[in-house]
Amino acid sequence: MTSSLHVPKGTRDLTGREVQAFAALEQVARRVFGLFHFEEIRTPIFETVDLFSRSLGETSDVVEKEMFTFVDRGERTFALRPEGTAGVVRHFIENNLAVQGDSHRLFYMGPMFRAERPQAGRYRQFFQIGSEHFGSPEPAADADTVLMMSRIFEEFGVGEFQIHVNSLGCQTCRPKHRAALLAYLKKRESELTEESRRRMEVNPLRVLDSKVDGPKLTDAPAMKDFLCSDCAAHFDLFLGLVQKETSRVEINPRLVRGLDYYTRTVFEFVSPLLGAQSALAAGGRYDDLVGMLGGPSVPAVGFALGADRVVEAHLKWRGEADKAVSNQTMAVVVAMTEESVPAAFGLAQKLRLAGFSVPPLLPAKKKLKNQLSAAVDAGAKWVILIGEDELKTGELSVKDLSTRTQTKVPQQKIISYLTGTP
Ligand code: AMP
């Protein structure tokens, strides 16, 4: 009989090595955020629709067609959060955290929701880890954000990756570029897809983002030729700081990012191990967003990494053969007779208290040979046998699976024997 139960389209259950890798990534990220002095924030997974349409822009793909929205019993309209920045900015404004000259640094981790067409590396529920740094207009804040992400990837391990960077300018210089770009696109309108022609009218920059048309438009006016002197100096300083620390940085004049709120620095981390969805993480500066949402004018810079893709790159890079993700040593206790079950059960608890990972006892009647091969498959280091002889003598039989040796160890010395402490 086939079951009619299915995980919702575009979502998945995470199990085994994958969920272990997610947990390991969270642990690495927490450590690195600590090194850069960022604090954790957990915001609700749903917010008012209005918050997202005002922050991401009415014309962004996310707001136009990808939000999961619902109306509650009080006729209020909410959306499952499609990204993390809007909620953190809402928190920042709501709690009046803007104090002149102060910097606020927050990080978050959690599921995000977008009703996208599912494909490899693109899900409807995916997990992001990100940070927001409020209050600093300095290029050093942008550089710190990029280096923090880079450090997470290096410590977690994703193999090779590149850091693409660009500047989108500010309110002063962006309109000039926009006008030049629009004039250029108008001339080539007949070559563009319908989607690009539509984007051209609402936000011409986004045409450069198009997978189909972007690569054709190599001679499009580049933002860097239009940057005002402040934005150009900001970008140069930022580049100087990051290039001193890493050789992975590449300027990509076509990097524009899909969301409307970015100003000045934008960046994207890409991995050659992933297919079409090669972006591991992305972010940038958003100096106008806090003001746009009704707060004071506070500059900010942030990023978000896609944990699903980072984990995929990590597992590909480590290779399928490598099983040992857990850093806990595993010990298996085998009760060889029904009479030895209570002693074996007690020993399993004692080993767990000492920090060993110990799976539940298997039934005493299960063949010893099968119990041993199960222990090997699970990646155990130790197997401890308790049967009639062991109960009588008080000495346990201990197998070391890594050296394939067996010894007798008095029951009261078992922990010090396994941990190698006298
Ligand atoms: P964005 O919020 O669109 O700037 O995306 C930041 C990062 O989140 C991307 O670089 C991806 O790694 C990841 N991401 C975005 N959308 C999805 C999705 N639908 N499924 C999986 N990962 C995603």
- CATH number, domain of 413, equals 3.40.50.800
Query: CA-to-CA distance for 422 and 417, rounded, in angstroms?
Result: 7
Residue 412 has pLDDT above 90, yes or no: yes
As a whole number, the mean pLDDT across the chain is: 92
- CATH number, domain of 251, equals 3.30.930.10
166 with 306, same domain: the answer is: yes
41 with 137, same domain: the answer is: yes
387 with 279, same domain: the answer is: no
Indicate if ligand 1 lies below 6 Å from the C-beta of 114.
yes
Please report whether residue 89 resides in a domain.
Answer: yes
Residue 257 has pLDDT above 80, yes or no: no
Domain boundary among 285, 318, 351: 318
The residues near 249 (Cβ < 8 Å, ≥ 6 apart) are 146, 162, 163, 165, 239, 242, 243
Residue 373 has pLDDT above 70, yes or no: yes
Rounded to an integer, the average pLDDT of 265-294 is 93
**What band does 2 get if pLDDT is binned at 50, 70 and 90?**
low
- Show the tokens assigned to 19: 């969920």
Rounded to an integer, the average pLDDT of 234-253 is 96
- Give the pLDDT of residue 1: 56
374 with 299, same domain: the answer is: no
297 with 360, same domain: the answer is: no
Residue 130 and residue 283 in contact, taking contact as beta carbons nearer than 8 Å: yes
Please report whether residue 82 resides in a domain.
Answer: yes
Task: Check residues 128 and 210 and name the one with the higher pLDDT.
Answer: 128
- Give the pLDDT of residue 238: 98
Rounded to an integer, the average pLDDT of 74-99 is 95
Residue 69 has pLDDT above 80, yes or no: yes
90 with 23, same domain: the answer is: yes
**What band does 101 get if pLDDT is binned at 50, 70 and 90?**
low
What is the torsional sign of CA 309, 311, 312, 317? positive
Residue 301 and residue 133 in contact, taking contact as beta carbons nearer than 8 Å: yes
Please report whether residue 199 resides in a domain.
Answer: no
- Give the pLDDT of residue 229: 97
147 with 236, same domain: the answer is: yes
Please report whether residue 5 resides in a domain.
Answer: no
69-71 vs 46-48, strand pairing mode: unpaired
| Domain tally, the chain | 2
Indicate if ligand 1 lies below 6 Å from the C-beta of 126.
yes
31 with 107, same domain: the answer is: yes
313 with 335, same domain: the answer is: no
Please report whether residue 189 resides in a domain.
Answer: no
Minimum mean pLDDT range among 1-10, 185-194, 277-286: 1-10
Query: CA-to-CA distance for 96 and 90, rounded, in angstroms?
Result: 10
288 with 350, same domain: the answer is: no
Please report whether residue 187 resides in a domain.
Answer: no
Nearest CA to ligand 1 atom 8: 306
**What band does 213 get if pLDDT is binned at 50, 70 and 90?**
confident
- Give the pLDDT of residue 64: 83
**Ligand 1 mean position, distance from CA 116 (Å):** 11
Q: Which of 308, 310, 311, 314 to mutate to test the pocket of ligand 1 (most atoms within 8 A of CB)?
A: 308
407 with 375, same domain: the answer is: yes
282 with 390, same domain: the answer is: no
Minimum mean pLDDT range among 25-29, 78-82, 116-120, 418-422: 418-422
Selection from 125, 140, 114 nearest residue 60 by Cα? 114
- Show the tokens assigned to 79: 């959306």
Host domain of residue 341: 331-419
Q: Which of 52, 62, 65, 112 to mutate to test the pocket of ligand 1 (most atoms within 8 A of CB)?
A: 112
**What band does 321 get if pLDDT is binned at 50, 70 and 90?**
very low
Please report whether residue 198 resides in a domain.
Answer: no
Please report whether residue 204 resides in a domain.
Answer: no
- H-helix segments, 42-193: 49-56, 61, 85-94, 139-156, 174-187
